A and B are shown apart, each in its own frame.
Chain A
Amino acid sequence: MKKVSILMLIAVLGVSLLTAFTPATPAEAPPEQVKQTLVFSSRLFSPPQEQEYFINEIIKPFEEEHGVIVNFQIIDDQTLLDRAAVQQSTNHVTTDIVVAHNSRMAEWIEAGWVEDMTEVVAGWTDRTFSTAFEGQTHMDGSQYFLPVGADVYLLLANNKALDYLPAGAELDTITWEQYAEWGAAVAAGEGEGKVCITGIPAKSWIYMFGGTGLSYGAGFPDVNSEGAMEAWKVWETIGKAGGFVPTVLNIDSCVDPMMREESWLTVFHNARAGQVYASNETAFTLAPAPTGPVGTGSIAGVSGYAIMKGSANYDLALQFLEYLTRPDIQVKIAKGTGGFIPPVEEALEFLGNEAIDEVINKAVLVLENGVVSGVPAGDYQDWGAVKQCYDDIFEDTILAGADVTQARLDEGQTCVEDLLKTE
């Protein structure tokens, strides 16, 4: 018995050895339908429902129309770059299209791994890409990335927190001072802080604070200007009142804490806010980000499509991108995937009146009327390190309930400026 099972084990291993040495033919595709395959690797649309939607509603029609296969893969930004490095340096360029975040676009362009699309885009007359992101999608006047899935920051509140809303505050026009007061009131009433920010380093605190800063006339990134100081004071108020969730340092995304009701208040990424909102529309309220003296400030993020240099399927890749960036398709993508903003001006005509349109509308409102900044990551050696300059200030002053001093902020500003690229 034992011998038999050992023999079987050896046989199985032997067979696996043999089969693996045979050349790796795409065994899944029978020979009669050897279709052209386009490899599309994306950081965007990573939530499983979004993947499902993108595959079924966006990719499938294209596959059927053109008789091709689009191999859709979700990969994070860093791995995308690592992978591109290997593919480019060993001459095995198998990825055709990549989708990168705007904070990483400079790395792609500088490495020379993506195609210049300026002339192609000039030929598409039916769409005008939002100019808000040209700082990242373009370099030296040439366009390398086509923007998709833009985001701004929205206020999301659990309805249980509405009881504590300061007198006179209206959700759609709430100011940052009122927001801080609100967070403090919730903490006092519940005996536990309920404001969520991402306390794990190098996540999105820089953007959450950045929006406050912009509302007070600060730049981005700007740690220690007069406006920035006022913005820090808003967060200081919450910190001193013990208004942050106790587990704030373990939070890398406010989605889970908001859904678990560990936290009740947050100002975050509109697509993720939309996701929480959709999980229980009657339990949450969504509003534009709070305002300051200058307006509603928000950092705007975006992702971008680009074609890999050396792609064997350049023409097909181009056709696919032409399809994906059509205004109606951009809207379809945005609505099916949590409420990103379609960064094509013509797209807004295609919005309807459903709840998801409301999310998008509020986001568009912020993008159009607010004080918005992109992410100038390309100016810095490493954007993650810049984020940490902000994270450190949060951790050692605000969370600790201490005063935000000008000296500490100047130190933070030096931290950021030291990271500027040296050239």
Chain B
Amino acid sequence: MIKKKPTSLAKIIKSTIFYLFVTTLGVGILLPAFFLVSLSFLSTREAYQFPLPLLPALSAKYSLTFGDRGYLLSVYDDFDDEYQTVLDTAELEKMSVYMRSQIGAPYDIPDIEDRIAELESGTDPVYFKARKNLLLNYDLFFKVTRDAVPALIRSLQIAGMTIVISLSIGGMAGYAFARYVFIGRDALKFSVLFVRMFPGVAIALPMVIILANMGFYDQPIGLSLVYSVGSIALTVWITASIFMGIPESLEEAAQVFGATKFQAFLKITFPLALPGLAAAAMYAFLGAWNETVSAIILTQFNPTFAVVVYQTLLGAVGHVNLAAAGGLAMAIPSVIFTFFIRRYINQMWGGVTV
């Protein structure tokens, strides 16, 4: 046992280096996303500063004095280490709204009145602090985004149906291409892919018109049908390549033990193909989740989440922190989906019992 120590030390060093490397890689991958997340918690004032703060401040320091139009409000700037004027107004409501929406550190009108009283009684300037509302952008986003929750549910339904349609239809064909030799196989397999080769932007509108004429106007299922067109092709190819990697002999062995071909498929091949199906499902989900072009046109009273996010953020110029928050709100369900689906993609060989 003692003899082993040197090797285990080498092992520790090796694995430390390995984990250091993996961590660096992970940090590198997440760095842009980190800034996006950080941005979504910044107030508008912070989000437009240079250098951009790495993290949102937790409070804001204000100072109040007399101004030309009324009272002059200043905010402490960490980077420049000084108070900077932001607003000169006699209207307390305006000041309060400004503190809430631009600085992100709300201060109620009665409290402002108290501070003004201090100012009038001779303390000049008056300094005070307010806690930041870190969720400001998310608050505003969900306030403006009407019917976000039903839209979210609808989008999940649509993505779910897209997965079901494309995995069932595409998976069958994928299996056929992997397991059977037949006339026209290569040609057919290639043609399936043609759906992806033909630029979808060119036919989005006509496709939507066809579906509307078929009675799918403003029906969630109609969108699943549109999205499945693209993801079926992907599924066919992904599943075909995965089925190819699974030795047919395993199925044959099961049949020797008396299983029917279908049972053999279900018990042996299907579990082994799960990583591929999961990868295909991931594609189908993201394709359906993020699409807006067809969804805006085909829906009216039943918009998807992507559509309501688009509607909220279309005009978010000068409000990039809100765009970040909205974009992240939209990303969260897909990130969660990713979190679960990854277990099937990274499934260990032999982890499935026959």
Contact = CB atoms under 8 A, between A and B. Distances in A.
B218 A94 contact: yes
Contact of A259 (B48, B72, B303, B311): B48
Given A16-B164, A23-B219, A94-B217, 12 more contacts: A13-B161, A13-B164, A17-B160, A24-B220, A39-B301, A52-B140, A52-B143, A82-B205, A92-B218, A261-B48, A272-B317, A279-B102
Which 5 A-B residue pairs are closest in the complex by CB-CB distance? A46-B315, A16-B160, A90-B212, A255-B318, A94-B300
B301 A74 contact: no
Contacts of B12: none
B189 interface: no
B45 A52 contact: no
B46 to A, nearest CB: 11
Contact of A20 (B72, B224, B319): B224
Interface in B162-193: 163-164
B196 interface: no
A92 B86 contact: no
B7 interface: no
A48 B300 contact: no
Interface in A70-106: 71-76, 79, 82-83, 85-86, 89-90, 92, 94-95
State which size class the interface on B falls in: 35 or more
A304 to B, nearest CB: 18
Contact of A19 (B146, B157, B315): B157
A47 B311 contact: no
Interface string B309-325: 00111111111101000
Nearest to A46: B315
Greatest chain A CB density within 10 A among B89, B220, B318 is at: B318
A76 B314 contact: yes
Contacts, number: 155
A329 B80 CA distance: 43
A363 to B, nearest CB: 18
Interface in A280-316: 280-283
B72 A16 contact: no
A46 B323 CA distance: 13
Contacts of B316: 47-48
A86 B150 CA distance: 24
A55 B163 CA distance: 36
Interface of B: 44-45, 48-50, 69, 72, 84-89, 91, 94, 101-102, 140-141, 143-144, 146-147, 150, 156-158, 160-161, 163-164, 205, 208-209, 212-213, 217-221, 224, 274, 296-298, 300-303, 311-320, 322, 340, 351-352
Given A19-B157, A20-B220, A92-B212, A86 B205 contact: yes
B148 to A, nearest CB: 11
- Secondary structure at the A interface, as helix, strand, loop or mixed, is helix
A94 to B, nearest CB: 4
A20 B158 contact: yes
Contacts of B317: 47, 253, 255-256, 272, 275
B186 to A, nearest CB: 32
B315 A92 contact: no
Contacts of B220: 20, 24
Contact of A74 (B101, B160, B298, B312): B312
Interface string A254-266: 0110011100000
B150 A27 contact: yes
Contacts of B102: 279-280
Given A16-B160, A90-B217, A39 B300 contact: yes
A365 interface: no
30 contacts: A12-B160, A13-B163, A16-B161, A20-B157, A20-B221, A24-B220, A39-B301, A46-B315, A49-B319, A51-B312, A74-B311, A74-B314, A75-B296, A86-B298, A92-B212, A92-B217, A92-B218, A94-B217, A253-B317, A255-B317, A259-B48, A259-B318, A261-B48, A261-B50, A276-B318, A279-B318, A280-B86, A281-B87, A283-B84, A283-B86
